[in-house]
Chain A
Amino acid sequence: MTRLLRQIYMLPRFVRVRLIAAFALMGVIPVLAAMYVMTTRFGMARVQLPMMSVLLLMCLILACLGLHVMRETIFGVIDVSRIVQELMRLRAHDPRAVSASELVRMDRLVSYMGDQVRAAQRMLDAYQASVREETRPFRLPPLVPAALLRTRVHEELAQAEVQRIPIGIFTWQLGDVSAREVADETLVPSWLQDVLRHSGIVLDALGRMRPGHWIGWTQRLNSVEVKRVAAQMHKAVPATLADRVSLAAWSHPADAVELRWLYLDDVDKAER
């Protein structure tokens, strides 16, 4: 029963409400009908407890059966692919079992539902796009798998050069890294989370080059904007770490980031 009720929560609110209302009605109608029959036939005084119990039990069974039928009907519409699959299976066994008009009806229904679904999707997409800025402070940028990071950075830089769309690149480095951070390459340190949340922009992606050394980028950010965002990020670094976190930012191709340079650590850079 719990499972049945939980599945109902897949449905939109107005369908759920109607389903529960129907369940209540299915329970009430048999009770009223039986009460009417019994009181007119035997008189109210002669209706006894055992008979009432049987009556209520029957009503309950009928109501549950009705709910089950309604639920199956609704899910039959939602899971339309199952219905089509069933029709095809029946038709494969016996071509006369499913008439051509039935198939046409199904085709039209699927087209209609497809149109309704696309329209609903468009409305939901528009709403989600409108609230994206509101949810920005809650979100970290998508992580790039460590194994792919170098390739992705290379692709992004090449794409920026070819399409002449500037890309802002940011790197953050902190020497002291906890053992947990070293072990888990998907753990974004809390100081970096703070920096990202207060940067005023949404990065397209973020990745860990090595423990304590992170890189992130976002398209359509020119040199001036990159400098502005970097200044905001500097401000957002917690005071206790301010002197230990090094932050660098470029706009490519204007500042011509060299991929090999990004992967050098500070010692190598100093030597060069």
Chain B
Amino acid sequence: MMRSIWENELTLDEFLLDKNRVNSEQLAGIRRVHAMEGGGWAGHFVDAGAVTENELLQLLMAETALPYIPVLQITVADDLRREFTLDFLRTFECLPIDRIGPVLTMATPNPLQPELFRSRGTSQTAIHLYLCRVSEWRECLRRLQEKP
């Protein structure tokens, strides 16, 4: 499944356009805001009111068959907090969860980002992705930011 997402290289904006969840006019506005503010796609679509967090989660679960993980109950390990900068986590809308041997587990509200695999996935390291809601991911980031 990981492989197919990676090879497909469909981004979230294209995906939502394909699924008719956003019209071209809305998309143009969101793209403009995205270009100005940066960050990840999922947050922009939710903030624009184009799609709700639950709808987005359901669409992505159906598309990718990735499982959902309740990230609010997870504490990110210290070594992973050091490894990933907050800028990276914000831009690529992800949260490292755990690293066991060669497997790095991450949660994201937007798995349609080839950069996620590219950044850490090598022949020695496999990335396992889980899905989460945008608000849950943001709350985790807020906690990471507040934690000294």
Q: Interface residues, chain A, CB within 8 Å of chain B? A: 3, 6-7, 10, 79, 81-82, 85, 89, 121, 124, 127-128, 131-132, 134-135, 138-140, 142-145, 147-148, 184-188, 190, 193
Number of interface residues of B (CB under 8 A): 32
Q: Interface residues, chain B, CB within 8 Å of chain A? A: 7, 9, 29-30, 33, 36-38, 43, 46-49, 52-55, 72, 87, 114-115, 118-120, 122, 124, 133-136, 138-139
Chain B residues, CB < 8 A from A190: 49
Q: Is the interface of B mostly helix, strand, loop or mixed?
A: helix
Q: When chains A and B are docked, how far (Å) is the Cα of A185 from the Cα of B133? A: 12
Q: When chains A and B are docked, how far (Å) is the Cα of A188 from the Cα of B138? A: 17
Known: A128-B38, A131-B37. A82 touches B122 (CB 8 A): yes
Nearest-CB distance from B146 to chain A (Å)? 10
Q: Are B135 and A186 in contact (CB under 8 A)?
A: yes
Q: Are B48 and A187 in contact (CB under 8 A)?
A: no
How many residue pairs between the two chains, A and B, have CB atoms under 8 Å in the bound complex? 75
Q: Is the interface of A mostly helix, strand, loop or mixed?
A: helix
Q: Are B134 and A143 in contact (CB under 8 A)?
A: yes
Nearest-CB distance from B57 to chain A (Å)? 9
Q: Are B114 and A7 in contact (CB under 8 A)?
A: yes
Chain A residues, CB < 8 A from B118: 79
A-B contact list, 8 entries, CB within 8 Å = A7-B114, A81-B120, A135-B36, A138-B29, A138-B33, A143-B134, A144-B139, A184-B54
Q: When chains A and B are docked, how far (Å) is the Cα of A87 from the Cα of B124? A: 14
Chain A residues, CB < 8 A from B119: 79, 81
Given contacts A3-B9, A193-B49, 7 further A-B contacts (CB under 8 A): A128-B36, A138-B30, A138-B33, A140-B49, A142-B47, A143-B46, A145-B72
